[in-house]
Amino acid sequence: MEFHQSFPDQVLENVLENVLHFLSTRRDRNAASLVCRSWYRAEALTRSDLFIGNCYAVSPNRATSRFNRVRSITVKGKPRFADFDLMPLNWGAHFTPWVFALSKAYPWLEKIHLKRMSVTDDDLALVAESFAGFRELVLVCCEGFGTRGLAVVAAKCRVLRVLELVDSVVEVGDDEEVDWISCFQESQIHMESLVFDCVECPVNFGALERLVARSPCLKKLRLNCYVSIFQLHRLMLCAPQLTHLGTGSFSASEAVMIGNQEPDYASAFAACRSLVCLSGFREILADYLPAIYPVCANLTSLNLSYADINAEQLKSVIFYCHKLRTLWMLDSICDEGLQAVAATCKDLRELRVFPVNTREESEGPVSGVGLEAISQGCRKLESILFFCQGMTNAAVVAMSKNCPDLVVFRLCIIGRYRTDPVTHQPMDEGFGAIVMNCKKLTRLAVSGLLTDRAFEYIGRYGKLVRTLSVAFAGDSDRALKYVLEGCPNLQKLEIRDTPFGDEALHSGLHHYYNLRFLWMSSCKLTRQGCQEVARALPRLVLEVINSEENEADDIEILYMYRSLVGPRDDTPKVVTILH
């Protein structure tokens, strides 16, 4: 009898492919692909979700030729400081070359997630026409498209499940506005998530109501400010199965009554028994807040970052929210509101406090008193973003001791070089305590008056820090040297308005290939110093961004990142790539 055996290498690769299917995280998959060539090939064949952290780090054709079984892709474009208007509007991050490559390589593609990308209506049209089974489109902080592109997606993506527009700029001209909601086909009954709270134009409410009514699987709905609370009531009656709701304006834009009486909004909320995430509250009328009381007990996430409410109004709501794990709000709630949160939300994991007024000379409504109260009451806290006009070292030290499980600590003191208002000392000891006591810390944002000593602490104890943001801090180049030599896991470094110069930049030559990117703006860099780094590290791309009227040797912005394909070819005039 004759036996036929497969080649051993082929057997190994078949087994390996089956094993690699169980690796779900990007980090594990990236590590597996580095073992050897056979693992590299097998990992590529089994990867269905592709993540591109920088659209210029690899070319679309190179990505699609290596990974040829992808069903879901995420692409990120501009760096985070673009959110603060620190980049020219026409900088780049165009989705066009990506969508052309994807349309040819992955006709079966189901999901596209984009962040800080420039997306045109034609790009959206190509998406709608190229992928027959397309199910999910998420655009976060994107720009360049309008209601015409959304209309094509709505009309042609017949099995679309998810359409989420988050903090994106949707262009609407006086004569270009398109009724995109009406373009969803009557056969579209599978919507699971519809988010359009950033769309700054009215929608066809009748069409929206019909779409919601015929979508029994709809779980997430976030409305824009043109949807009144009366209209929200009608939508909630159509979709009691919602788990995530963005309320729209949460005010009555029209005096619409049923008979002589307004609808029972509280009953509509009470009927949504599965609701766990609540947001919206744009143009809020506080008189309507009691309507949400029936759902507060089940909420795990509450976003009040658009609701300009005071401490008493917050307390009336937060009193019922014992299960909250995520809470976003404005600093209008003052320290008193933070104390109420600390007393109630014992299971809180993430807190964000945003400023109503960002002027440096204003007196801040939240302070170390509120922060310390949070640290004492919310000891399971893992992530905090806290804007304030002043902070004490004592409060930050208390947080480091009371909340040792912190993974993200972002303290943004509005104003330049602010000291501890009580001791008038730099904020070194507070941030030093955070990196010393919070052993799981991976993301840190520092501000206030900091000396080199604070950066020495970060370099010595911040061994897991992957993202570091620095503003208005540091004495000398030595500060950055401490960080670059002491933080082996650092991947993203954002620096603005510091005294760091060429010497500080050169101190990281040994580490820059491990970084995803370095951003430095309004520092003391020179063109010659940056040029020397470009020559020493040819596999990095160094972009110098200067305003058109500034042709001096000084560097306004340096953006440096890794790339497998070298410099891009779509730079605007204000961008120079150093070689």
Boundary (domain end) residue, out of 401, 427, 449: 449
Residue 227 lies in a domain: no
444 plus 490 within the same structural domain: no
309 plus 442 within the same structural domain: yes
* pLDDT winner (highest mean) among 66-70, 133-137, 358-362: 133-137
For the CA atoms of 234, 239, 242, 248, what is the dihedral angle to 10 degrees? -20
Q: Given this model, what pLDDT does residue 86 score?
A: 86
**Res 11 pLDDT > 60:** no
Element (H, E) at 372: helix 368-377
Residue 396 lies in a domain: yes
391 plus 500 within the same structural domain: no
397 plus 520 within the same structural domain: no
Q: Given this model, what pLDDT does residue 88 score?
A: 86
Q: Given this model, what pLDDT does residue 401 score?
A: 98
The structural domain count of the chain equals: 2
417 plus 497 within the same structural domain: no
Residue 158 lies in a domain: no
Boundary (domain end) residue, out of 449, 464, 493: 449
Boundary (domain end) residue, out of 405, 426, 449: 449
339 plus 443 within the same structural domain: yes
402 plus 315 within the same structural domain: yes
Q: What is the chain's mean pLDDT, rounded?
A: 91
Which whole number is the average pLDDT over 15-26? 75
Residue of 172 and 288 predicted with greater confidence: 288
Q: How far apart are CA 305 and CA 355, in angstroms?
A: 9
pLDDT tens by residue, 302-345: 999 999 999 999 999 999 999 999 999 999 999 999 999 999 99
Q: Given this model, what pLDDT does residue 549 score?
A: 53
Q: How far apart are CA 405 and CA 383, in angstroms?
A: 9
**Res 255 pLDDT > 60:** no
Residue 370 lies in a domain: yes
pLDDT tens by residue, 463-494: 999 999 998 888 899 999 999 999 999 999 99
Give the number of other CB atoms < 10 A from CB of residue 154: 25
Residue 277 lies in a domain: no
Q: Name every residue whose Cβ is closer than 8 Å to that of residue 434 and which is 6 or more positions away in sequence.
A: 396, 399, 400, 406, 409, 441, 444
What is the CATH classification number for the domain harbouring 317?
A: 3.80.10.10
Q: Given this model, what pLDDT does residue 44 score?
A: 84
Residue 427 lies in a domain: yes
304 plus 353 within the same structural domain: yes
**Res 154 pLDDT > 60:** yes
**Res 84 pLDDT > 70:** yes
Tokens of 354: 């945003």
Q: How far apart are CA 542 and CA 563, in angstroms?
A: 10
428 plus 509 within the same structural domain: no
Q: Given this model, what pLDDT does residue 81 score?
A: 87
The domain of 569 spans 481-579
Start-end of H helices in 239-358? 265-271, 293-296, 311-318, 334-344
Q: Given this model, what pLDDT does residue 509 score?
A: 93
307 plus 407 within the same structural domain: yes
486 plus 445 within the same structural domain: no
Element (H, E) at 211: helix 205-213
Residue 118 lies in a domain: no
Q: How far apart are CA 53 and CA 57, in angstroms?
A: 8
% of the chain beyond a pLDDT of 90: 79
Q: Name every residue whose Cβ is closer than 8 Å to that of residue 548 and which is 6 or more positions away in sequence.
A: 573, 574
pTM higher than 0.85, yes or no? Answer: yes
Residue 197 lies in a domain: no
% of the chain beyond a pLDDT of 70: 94
439 plus 485 within the same structural domain: no
Burial (0-12, 13-18, 19+ Cβ within 10 Å), 314: buried
